[in-house]
Chains A and B, each alone.
Chain A
Amino acid sequence: MNVRLTAPGEAPAMPAARTVATSNAAVEFGRVTKSFGDVTAIEDVSLRVPAGEFTVLIGPSGCGKSTLLSLAAGLEAPTEGFVTAHGREVTGPSRDTALIFQQHNLFPWMTTEANVAYGLRSRGMARREALARARELLAKVGLSDFAKKPPTALSGGMRQRVALVRAFATEPTLLLMDEPFGALDHQTRKIMQAYLLSTWRDSGATVVMVTHDLDEALMLADRLVLFTGQPGRIAETLDIAAPRPRSRDDPGLREIGTRLERHLAAAAEAAEFTEAERARLASR
Chain B
Amino acid sequence: MTAQAATTHAPPADAAPEAATPPPRPRAAAAPPLSRRLVRRFGTPLSFLFAWAVLLGLWELGAAAGWFSARILPPPSQTIPFLLAGEATVGFGTQRTGLVEAIGVTLVRISVGLVLGLVAAIGVAFLILQVKLLRALVLPIVQSIAPISPVAWVPFAIAIVGIGDPAAIFVVFMAIFGSMCCAAVAAFDSVPQEYRKVARSLGAGTAEMWRTVLLPAAAPSLMTMVRMSFFAAWMAVLAGEMAGINSGLGYLIIMGQQMYNMKLVMVGIIAIGVVGFALDRLLLLAQRRIVWWEDAQ
Interface residues of A (CB under 8 A from B): 73, 75, 93-95, 97-99, 101, 103, 105, 107-110, 118-119, 122-123, 149-150, 152-155, 166, 170
Is B197 in contact with A73, judged by CB distance below 8 angstroms? yes
Supplied contacts A109-B219, A122-B203, A123-B203, 19 more A-B pairs, CB within 8 Å: A75-B200, A94-B201, A97-B201, A98-B202, A99-B197, A99-B201, A101-B194, A101-B197, A101-B198, A105-B195, A107-B213, A108-B293, A109-B217, A119-B202, A122-B202, A152-B296, A152-B297, A166-B202, A170-B203
Q: Which of B202, B205, B297 is most buried by chain A, counting CB atoms within 10 A of its CB? A: B202
5 pairs of A and B residues whose beta carbons are closest in the complex: A122-B203, A119-B202, A153-B28, A152-B296, A109-B216
A-B contact pairs, 5 of them (CB 8 A): A93-B200, A105-B194, A118-B202, A153-B25, A153-B27
Is A118 in contact with B195, judged by CB distance below 8 angstroms? no
Could you say which residues of chain A place their CB within 8 Å of the CB of B219? Answer: 109
- B203 interface neighbour in A75, A108, A119, A150, Cβ under 8 Å: A119
Could you say which residues of chain A place their CB within 8 Å of the CB of B190? Answer: none
Could you say which residues of chain B place their CB within 8 Å of the CB of A103? Answer: 194
Distance from B149 Cβ to chain A, minimum over Cβ atoms (Å):
37
Is B28 in contact with A122, judged by CB distance below 8 angstroms? no
Interface flag for B162 (CB, 8 Å) = no
- B198 interface neighbour in A99, A150, A155, Cβ under 8 Å: A99
Distance from B187 Cβ to chain A, minimum over Cβ atoms (Å):
14
Once bound together, how far apart are the Cα atoms of A122 and B293, in whole Å? 23
Q: Is the interface of B mostly helix, strand, loop or mixed?
A: helix
Known: A108-B293, A152-B293. A118 touches B199 (CB 8 A): yes
Q: Is the interface of A mostly helix, strand, loop or mixed?
A: loop
Could you say which residues of chain B place their CB within 8 Å of the CB of A166? Answer: 202
Count of chain B residues near A, Cβ 8 A: 25
Closest to A149 in B: B28
Once bound together, how far apart are the Cα atoms of A118 and B198, in whole Å? 10
Could you say which residues of chain A place their CB within 8 Å of the CB of B197? Answer: 73, 75, 99, 101
Once bound together, how far apart are the Cα atoms of A108 and B194, in whole Å? 13
Instruction: Annotate B202-225 by CB proximity to A: 1 below 8 A, 0 otherwise.
Output: 111100100011001101000000
Is B203 in contact with A95, judged by CB distance below 8 angstroms? yes
Closest to A95 in B: B203
Once bound together, how far apart are the Cα atoms of A93 and B199, in whole Å? 10
Once bound together, how far apart are the Cα atoms of A132 and B217, in whole Å? 25
Could you say which residues of chain A place their CB within 8 Å of the CB of B204? Answer: 118, 122
Could you say which residues of chain B place their CB within 8 Å of the CB of A99? Answer: 197-198, 201
Once bound together, how far apart are the Cα atoms of A170 and B201, in whole Å? 10
Distance from B140 Cβ to chain A, minimum over Cβ atoms (Å):
24
Interface flag for B81 (CB, 8 Å) = no
Once bound together, how far apart are the Cα atoms of A6 and B269, in whole Å? 83
Is B25 in contact with A155, judged by CB distance below 8 angstroms? yes
Could you say which residues of chain A place their CB within 8 Å of the CB of B205? Answer: 122
Distance from B198 Cβ to chain A, minimum over Cβ atoms (Å):
5
Is B195 in contact with A107, judged by CB distance below 8 angstroms? yes
Distance from B89 Cβ to chain A, minimum over Cβ atoms (Å):
48
- B296 interface neighbour in A97, A123, A150, Cβ under 8 Å: A150
Could you say which residues of chain A place their CB within 8 Å of the CB of B147? Answer: none
Once bound together, how far apart are the Cα atoms of A264 and B98, in whole Å? 79
Closest to B296 in A: A152
Interface flag for B192 (CB, 8 Å) = yes
Chain B, 155-203, CB within 8 A of any chain A CB: 192, 194-195, 197-203
Once bound together, how far apart are the Cα atoms of A95 and B200, in whole Å? 9
Closest to B204 in A: A122
Could you say which residues of chain A place their CB within 8 Å of the CB of B208? Answer: 122
Once bound together, how far apart are the Cα atoms of A101 and B199, in whole Å? 13
Closest to A103 in B: B194
Could you say which residues of chain A place their CB within 8 Å of the CB of B203? Answer: 95, 119, 122-123, 170
Distance from A170 Cβ to chain B, minimum over Cβ atoms (Å):
7
Q: Which of A94, A103, A107, A166 is most buried by chain B, counting CB atoms within 10 A of its CB? A: A107
Instruction: Annotate B35-76 by CB proximity to A: 1 below 8 A, 0 otherwise.
Output: 000000000000000000000000000000000000000000
Once bound together, how far apart are the Cα atoms of A36 and B162, in whole Å? 54
Could you say which residues of chain B place their CB within 8 Å of the CB of A155? Answer: 25
Is B201 in contact with A98, judged by CB distance below 8 angstroms? yes
Distance from A123 Cβ to chain B, minimum over Cβ atoms (Å):
6
Once bound together, how far apart are the Cα atoms of A73 and B194, in whole Å? 13
Q: Which of B197, B203, B293 is most buried by chain A, counting CB atoms within 10 A of its CB? A: B203
Is B297 in contact with A108, judged by CB distance below 8 angstroms? yes
Could you say which residues of chain B place their CB within 8 Å of the CB of A93? Answer: 200-201
Once bound together, how far apart are the Cα atoms of A107 and B297, in whole Å? 11
Could you say which residues of chain B place their CB within 8 Å of the CB of A108? Answer: 293, 296-297
Is B293 in contact with A109, judged by CB distance below 8 angstroms? yes
Instruction: Annotate B264-294 by CB proximity to A: 1 below 8 A, 0 otherwise.
Output: 0000000000000000000000000001010
